[in-house]
Amino acid sequence: MKSKPSNKRRSRTVGLMDRVRAFLEPHENEPVDLVRQFEYRWADGSFDYQKYLDEQVKKAKSDVGDVWADEKTLELIADYTKRALGKADLVICHGSKSGMESMHLANSLGCDGIGTDIAPPESAQGVVQWDFHEDKPEWIGRASVIYTNALDHSYDPKKAVDAWAKQLAPDGLIFIEHTMLHAPEGSSKSDPFGAHPLIMPYLVLEWGQGKYCVTDILKPPHKKPHWKTKEETNLDIWIFVIRKTG
């Protein structure tokens, strides 16, 4: 009888997940849900992009006027960028809705700013209607800074971050803002991706396949200062800084 071929990469990943679970809940036997991805599928299993798009447009209309980004976090990112790069030429903020974060970072860094959103409101300023999973040739290699707090809206986070890495200038920085509302417990049809913050650096390392990785994790001294309900405010914030490795 032939032995089953081993998959060394998979066994290392499972071992890592086991160690993280043990760290998270050392006294519990229940497995910890570290990553969750809602999938939009036709009956035959193929990807239903229209269903994804409809959910995002519906979510955008229900969230008109809501702004997740806050000035304290954006200023921390601007200060980090100034120390790391000295100056910036272009900021791109993905999932920017009204354009608040792209305008704020561009003003703080004294550079051009572009926001993207799959369904921007009519009042959006400097925001281009765009699916952030897709390449846009005129942005390739141009961005000093890419910021998002909307990776949880991704149907394929690897595809999204791959596209953003292509948009980076050689020394550019990607900033992904993350809270426990971006964890698996916060995922849904409209927010299809959720990952526990402890696993995010490992996910990015796997997605990057040697092309990019998390090089720093910023932990702001402040909490998320506002959101819809009391239970969704005063959240801890993690900011994952990603750079190209080659």
- Output the pLDDT for position 44: 92
Confidence category of residue 22, pLDDT binned at 50, 70, 90: low
The 10s digit of each residue's pLDDT in 134-163 is 999 999 999 999 999 999 999 999 999 999
Greater confidence (32 vs 152) lies with 152
For residues 198-224, one letter each, b for 16 or more C-beta atoms within 10 angstroms of the residue's C-beta and e for the rest, the string is ebbbbbbeebbeeebbbbeeeebeeeb
Q: Is the pLDDT of residue 132 over 80?
A: yes
Q: Nearest-CA neighbor of 149 among 114, 177, 121? A: 177
Q: Is the pLDDT of residue 14 over 50?
A: no
Let me know: does 172 contact 146? Beta carbons within 8 Å.
yes
Ordered by where they begin, the domains of the chain are 49-244 (3.40.50.150)
Q: Is the pLDDT of residue 17 over 60?
A: no
The stretch 1-19 carries a mean pLDDT of 42
- Output the pLDDT for position 2: 40
pTM: 0.86
- Output the pLDDT for position 13: 41
The shares of helix, strand and coil residues in the chain, as percent rounded to the nearest 5, are 35, 20, 40
Residue 235 is given by DSSP the state B
The stretch 167-181 carries a mean pLDDT of 96
Residue given tokens 């996910």 in the structure block: 203
The stretch 2-10 carries a mean pLDDT of 38
